[in-house]
Structure formats: structure tokens, C-alpha cells
Structure 1
Amino acid sequence: MARIEPKVRDLVSSDPEMRDAVETVLARADDGEVKWVDVKGDITSGHWGRLIEKGVLVDGDEGFRLADPEATRAALETESTSSSGASSSSSVDDDDLGDSSWSTYDKMAAVVTVGLFAAYGWKPLRDIIGNVMNVVLGPLTDLLPFYAVIMVIALATGLYSTLLQANLMDMDKMSMYQERMKDIQERRKEAQKNDDDEALDAIQQEQMEAMGDQMGMFKEQFRPMVWIMFLTIPAFLWMYWAIGVGGNAEAHVTMQNIVLPLVGEVSWTEGVLGPMQAWIVWYFLCSMGFTQIIRKSLNIDISPSAS
């Protein structure tokens, strides 16, 4: 009997016309029993057969009786209260979630970004980008010590990274993705608790179909990252070029040693965290600090909140 409610909910959610059929059977049942002749003008034989097949209707003294009238009514009420949420969920699944497609500019930026990665291992391209970026960053090295130049770069990258994430990521859509997956998990737990194998099979199928949401979330998260890397990689390549990182590379900027917390005075190319050299450790420390300050100052939250 305890499984009647999820069975009715499953029938109604899979076939909207089944709701009318169940309501008709409830209305025509006399002392819990109903005959086909009582409802054949109002529901189809297919719906009648489905109710019998699922065990919602069982053999009675003179016809069929509802296995659990109260559970059947409760299922309709539950489905009714969640219908708006279900419809919005279905619209979230099919319409609101939509296709997290990238624009032409996004794809072009992704292609250029992949090309920029080659400069890390190919010195001629790194030198070209370094010289181009030096037109902008070179004057800073004449005005500020090198550690302060890296701080300026970290501040700039933290600012545009935060703004790009806030403006290019659809937080509402991300919340919808998370909400759908959370709903599936909750219904799965309920079906396991009720030992409802049929509901579990349906939920498993829905979970497989929802795997596309995972790809949608990934695309939403990676879209701003493409633009962040598009702008940040040239700055990193300039630092490679200026410091003289890599084989056959030479420094193009006069630098003094830097004093790092817990490490002390080190050269810019000295490894301080395993293979990580001092310059990149200093950049990440500055970037993380400035990013947190920028987010707090601008009151920007880039984490989706499930409603």
C-alpha cells in the first residue's frame, strides 16, 4: 500500500491525461469499488489498463477497488502542489536551460588562446609576444620595482577576471542546473526509501538524460575562463620574457632579489614551492589577495545559489 502514492505520481507525471483518469475513478468509486462500465465513457481503456497494471486498481467483490484511496488522493495533491514546480522544472530542463552555446567571438577567443599556449614552449613566438606586451608594461619597469610591476599585473588580472566571471556566467542557469540535480537526488532517495523499483528505473533514466546538464555547467563555467586566459596568457608570457624563463632565454629587465614570507630572500627564478619559481608564487599571492578584495569591494558573488 505504501507504494501506491509514488506509483500514482509516476503515472500522472508521465501522462498528463492520467490525472483526469485517476480523478474520474476516485469520483465514481462506490465504497472504494468501481467498474469499467462506470467510467468507460470518460477514460480510455488504455488508462484503465494502466491503473490495473500498476496495482492502483485491484480486484474487488463486484469489480475493481482502489488499493489505497487515501494514498491515491495524496499523490494527486502532491503532484498538484509540485506541478508548478514540475512544470518550471521541465521548462528548466528543456527551455530555460536551453543550449549553453558560445558566440562566434567566444570560439575565436578559444582558438587564439590555444595558440597562445604554444608560446610557452616556442621561444620565437614568446619573444614576439613579449616585445609587443613590453610596449605597455615596459614603462612600468622604469617607474616601479619589479615586484610592484607584478602586483599591478595581479591587480589588473584579478579585476577583469572577476568582472568577466560576473558578466559572462549565467548564475540563474547555473542555479537551475544545480536545482535539477538536487531534485533528482532527493527523488532517488525517496524511491529507495519506498523500495520503488519502477520509480528508481525512471529516475535513473532521467539522471542519464540530465548528464547533458553537466556539460552545460562546464560550458558556462569555462566560457569566462577562455577570455580570462586570452587576456592573462600574454601578461604571463611577458613575465617569462622579462625574467628570462626557459631554455636559451635571457632577462630583459633589471631585477633585485625578492623577500618572500616564510622563505626569505630569493632570486626570481629560484624554486620556492617545489618547481614553482619565486615570480609565479609572488604573482599568485598577489592575485588571490587582490581578487578577494575586489569581490568584497564590488559585492560580487560568482557562486550560484540554488533556490
Structure 2
Amino acid sequence: MGYRVAIVGATGNVGREMLAILEELNFPVEKMHAIASRKSKGMEVAWGDKTIYCEDIERFDFSTVDIVLMSAGGDVSRAWSEKIGKLGPIVIDNSSAFRQDKDVPLIVPEVNPDAVKQAKKKNIIANPNCSTAQLVVALKPLHDAAKIKRAVVSTYQSVSGAGKEGMDELWNQTKAIYGLGDATPKKFPKQIAFNVIPYIGSFRDDGYTDEEAKMWEETHKMLDPNIKLTVTCVRVPVFVGHSESVTVEFDRPIEPDEAREILREAPGVLVVDKMEHDGYITPVDAAGEHAVFVSRIRKDPTVENGLSFWVVSDNLRKGAALNAVQIAQLLDETGTITPKSGVRTVIV
């Protein structure tokens, strides 16, 4: 016995990862529902060794489930999450729709698990931006040891962050260029194959993009509003895995070896940092893994008390699906929710 779970957007990249990770982590599920728009009704998705069929969101009775994992985009979330929350289940929303709502906790379990106490205000919990999630997992233990005054972050974000259409565009453009075919951009504003694009989201009046603003706004909400943070977000021709170049200024001296030891003890972090040809992690190495990897920890001699390092994680996992499932685990472990059946059995 366990929880009755619905995944809205079950046919997408993140929705399918949610299904896989719920099984991998042995989350106690009594009944699984795959929910999609009417046009996807009847589509099949894999759940364990079974196949389940997508149900129409317009006709589904959400009062029958305990947890709703929402991964169908901001418009769908804005239309449905509050209505679903009022029916009883807790919605874990992967979009940006509620991240800055003061009545909705924004949670990375390794960073601010106590925020789960606010979950019942609207029965909605927000999942952070994929790039923010891995950043704060790396920053949190360092910030606890030596307060971070300022951080400069440049991201190298994979095309899967733009969904299946983004992955298809990289694949199709790569084939077209090799075959002298049509490489005209459709999903991205410029060619992504064999290129990088220093623009994700949409421009704001200050010259930053909303993707960049999400990172500092979410870091301030989850970690510390006093951290000064500037960000440049870049799309790169990588299928899965976001990377970040991070430079941090602390309020006291912190040596690279001390930072390595702090991070090695931190939940969710793996340090791979040797000065040799394979002594660092790339997106290919991180794909399919749960951890946030930190490499290339070194002093930044241009500022007082500065360190620079490299952060990599699978954006479909820790950046989205894994973090959502870990939030569900947190809800269960803290007793914030209990199954409607009243019985919870973990299979180990």
C-alpha cells in the first residue's frame, strides 16, 4: 500500500523521468495515474514493468489522489494547480508559475527542507529552475561554513532544458549540417548545432533574461536574500546535463582543500577534483546520475576570499524530476502527508 500519485505531463521528458525515478527510489505508490491533455489521451507510458494509459486532465478526479507531480508547463500549472490543491492533494509543480508566491514554498530538500512546513497553505510546492537547483546544492554547505557575499555564475545549459523540441532541433540540425540539409532554427533563436547561444528565456528591461533572473530570485528565496548574484545563461549543443562556472566571494578566507572537505560531506554532492585529464566531470559523465558534481575547485586571486569551481548535474533529474520526487519523499518522511489508504509500506 502507499500513495495515489498523478503525473500531469507524463508524456514529456521530465514526466517520463518522474515515472522512472519514483520506481528507482522505491517511493510507495499504490496507484499511478498518467495525466495529459485531451490530444494525448490514450497514449502509453511505462510504469515499472507495466504500461499505463494517459487520462484526460479535463475529466480526471484529482480528489482521489494524494500527490500530483505537475510537469506540463506554466500555463497548465496556472490553470490547474490551485484548483487541484483545493481538492486535497499536494501539487509539486515543476514550472515557474508559483516559485515566487509567498504562500508557496520553493524547495530543494538538501537546502531548505524546513520550508515543507508551509506546504499546506495552498497545497502547492514549487520545484526550482533546473540551473538553480544544482547551484544551491553546491552553495548551501559552503554558505553554512563561510557566508557568501557575492557569486558570479555562467551556465552551459543543455537543449533538453527546452524539452523534446530542443533535443530534436539539435539532432536534426546536426544531421542537416553534415548532410548539407536545412538547418534553419525553429525552437531556438539561432542555430544550436556546433554553436552556443547566450540567451535563454526572454529579455527584461535591465538587459538580463528571465532565466537569469530566476536564478538569483530563487537562490534568494531558498538560501539567503543577501547574496549578491549575477548570472549569464548560455544554451550549448549538449543533449542532457547543465554545467555552471561559479566564482564565489566569502566573508572569510576559505582554502580549496577546506571547500573540498565541506562539499564531500554535503548531501547530494560528489566532488571529483584532480588535476589530471579525467579529474573533472562533464555533462556526459553526469547524465543519468542523481548527484550534483563539483570539480575544479581553486582560488580566485582577483577578489578577497574568492573561490572558483565547476558544477554539473543531469538537468532532467536533480534539475527537475529527481528533486520533485525527493520533495514527495520529504512530505512523507516529515508526516506532512499520509496516504488516503492510511497505510504506507516501503519496499526495500
Q: TM-score range by the shorter chain?
A: under 0.3
Output the TM-score relative to the length of structure 2: 0.21
More helix by share: 1
Output the TM-score relative to the length of structure 1: 0.23
More strand by share: 2
